[in-house]
Amino acid sequence: MKKFKFTINGNQYETEVLSIEENIAEIEVNGTLYSVEVDKAMKTSKTPKLVRQTVVPSTDSHPSVAKTSSPAGPKGAGSIKSPLPGVILEMYVKEGDEVKMGQKLLMLEAMKMENNIESDKAGKVVSILKHKGDNVMEGDVLIIIGE
């Protein structure tokens, strides 16, 4: 486990703590083994574990599951936001179209991958804020869906 060097009254001692169980420690001093009783129980220290919560973009859900909206807001209305920074390659809807949950709205190229952005709510496309060829950042509102 751990090695120590002590000088006591001019004499050098090389020690090594071999094991610690409850309040008994096995210690080797200059090649001789000793069992030492410790006043309080020794605990081996553990390395702390870093735990992070998983982050899920607003578009990552099962298409048939509606997301909640604010109680005062109209049901089914809301905005579709970009989950990643990228470029819009293709638009599959236009203003005035009726959309269902899970319907493909647009294709976004992010990190050389094509990502289909699907609707997480049902309603009518009220406004399209970004168009084919536009660069978007994560969280940019792409499409507004109303009732």
**Tens digit of pLDDT for each residue in 18-71?**
888 878 888 898 888 888 887 765 566 677 777 777 766 655 555 555 555 555
Mean pLDDT of 9-23: 86
Q: Where in the chain do CATH 2.40.50.100 domains reside?
A: 78-146
Which numeric CATH code is attached to 78-146? 2.40.50.100
Can you spell out the DSSP letters for 8-47? ETTEEEEEEEEEEETTEEEEEETTEEEEEE-SS-------
Give pLDDT tens digits for 126-136: 999 999 999 99
CA distance 28 to 9: 19
